[in-house]
Structure 1
């Protein structure tokens, strides 16, 4: 039995409701239900009696709840003692300037809950470095978006987001339900500074050379659209100022949210971070 699965079981046993337990664990309900079914298969008995209004513990589930709580308490005690013996453990996380992403908030809550003794340092990065300082040795792991040069790096895909074009709300194209990239060929697009990763620049330029003002941060991109009528791409689902609009692009490859770390890095804090991120971003 994995400790993570036992934590799932305890949450369901205490909430007596899969939906509430999933919310408490910052995950969706289907993978939680599958994990509990696998645990029941391992135990060889039902742990919950299910009904339309919720669940109740079976006698076997009641016994496992007591044992699981004791085991998890002991595991937490071991973690605290080992951390104290090793000194203050720290992990530095690079985050691309995208603080509105709800996945980041779920990830932070889950990591704090599972690693309360770890000092987490955040390095917010502008759009000129999609690896968030990883190559420069400034961070241990990054939450960012692909594509970029993956040489000597390891990536874990967390989510894909459809992409749209950001326009001024009074732009005639803003009234459209969808657009194609070819319809934007005569427009100016915001650019990243010289030296920015070519794969990254090419993606946000829709796969071809463009001309336009140079920007470094998300807010600068939005102001370039607002003040200059520049167009640019952005993941769908993010809130925009009232004077801006985003129209889905039907021929644009979705944007990949990824966790990335240095190839061969065996730091257990990074391994744990990746697993927690994978669960937090799962929808």
Structure 2
């Protein structure tokens, strides 16, 4: 059991006294938060929280644990703070979404190595929920998260908004179209990242699809790009992705009117030295995303907009 992660969940529930608000604060799904709290209670052998449909309160053991848990988490932050005082050496632990793509990940590694040759980049493929959780408990230094997402206690870098297109089999009737209207996909099944990886972004994507006339016949959770490519190659589904050079048998077409955007940004713990490796990683990510957009075919080449604003601006 990751004790720090579970204590982080307990403190959030204890301070909010509301599972929904605590889950939003941590950027994770409420059932996952409840499971972690139950596991902590099982590990300690005591009930920490009294739950009912109308009330959440701490038990006596929960009240006794709260101050200790806060002190443990504060000590963990101080330990990580000590390591961040030597910004030119060491390892930077960075989370990246699994769907970022092999070419983009390779470009990111190469560009960061040029900026920080003395810093080892430890990349971890993680969904937004897991990244926010690990940033909060100190097991991750920086992450590339999807918006909208709640980032309480974190700093959010510039948000890159990039248009989505549709990935299709070459046999598709829309494969030769200059642009595809989103409503043309009505009746097609959709391959998309699992909801628990980024619940708010997942819900926003499906809501935007429905608003523009596309309600998938079925939605397939796709945990990685290769699985998505397999579903599309087999004719089982389409995928909505930023531009990337498609493999043989597939084609990528832009959507008419650019109705869908993917929004990504770096996030890190408040108080981190932004002049160190974390800041250089954030700058590298912004540069690589610009280059990815510039590599798109002419009809799809829309540069991502980079805007500095809180993550909460994307919650509405």
| Superposition TM-score, scaled by structure 1 size | 0.57
Q: Which residue of structure 1 lines up, in the alignment, with residue 240 of structure 2?
A: 233
Specify the alignment match of 1:142 in structure 2. Answer: 143
Matching residue of 2:279: 271
**1:263 Cα deviation from its structure 2 partner:** 3.5
Please report how far the alpha carbon of residue 118 of structure 1 lies from its aligned counterpart in structure 2 after TM superposition: 2.1
Say if 1:162 and 1:225 are closer, same or farther in 2 by CA, change over 3 A: same
CA deviations over 1:32-77 (Å, ceiling 9, x no partner): xxxxxxxxxxxxxxxxxxxxxxxxxxxxxxxxxxxxxxxxxxxxxx
Partner residue in 1 for 2:224: 217
CA contact (8 A) 1:94 1:133 kept: yes
Match of 2:255 in 1: 249
Give the SS at the match of 1:133.
helix
Counterparts of 2:86 and 2:160, CA distance in 1:
37
Instruction: Give yes or no for contact 2:88–2:116 (8 Å, CA) kept in 1.
Output: no
Distance 1:106 1:218, change over 3 A: closer
Check if 1:260 corresponds to 2:258: no
Paired with 1:272 and 1:171, the residues of 2 have a C-alpha distance of 42
Cα deviation, 1:91-145, whole Å, max 9, x if unaligned, reads 111122324344x5554344333433223211123xxx13663422442112354
CA distance in 2, matches of 1:263, 1:226: 43
Does 1:94 pair with 2:101? no
- Give 1:62-141 correspondences, 5 Å limit: 89-97=90-98, 98-102=100-104, 104-125=105-126, 129-130=127-128, 133-137=131-135, 138-141=139-142
| Cα deviations by residue, 1:227-257 (Å, 9 ceiling, x for unpaired) | 2431220102x11122111221124233234
Distance in 1 separating the partners of 2:189 and 2:287? 39
Residues 282 and 113 of structure 1, relative CA distance in 2, 3 Å threshold? same
Q: CA–CA distance in 2 between the matches of 1:166 and 1:152?
A: 36
Residues 132 and 144, structure 1, Cα contact 8 Å, conserved in 2: no
Is the 2:130–2:197 Cα contact (8 Å) retained in structure 1? no
TM-score (norm 2): 0.52
Secondary structure of the 1:174 match is coil
CA deviations on 1:73-95 (whole Å, 9 max, x unpaired) are: xxxxxxxxx99989962211112
Deviation at 1:186, TM superposition (A): 2.0
Larger radius of gyration: 1
| Residue in structure 1 matched with residue 169 of structure 2 by the alignment | 168
How many pairs were matched up? 197
RMSD: 3.4
Unaligned runs of 5+ in 2: 1-82, 292-316
- CA shift digits 1:199-219 (9 cap, x unpaired): 221344362464222221111
Uncovered stretches (5+) of structure 1, i.e. residues with no partner:
1-81
CA gap of 1:183–1:217, structure 2 versus 1, over 3 A, is same
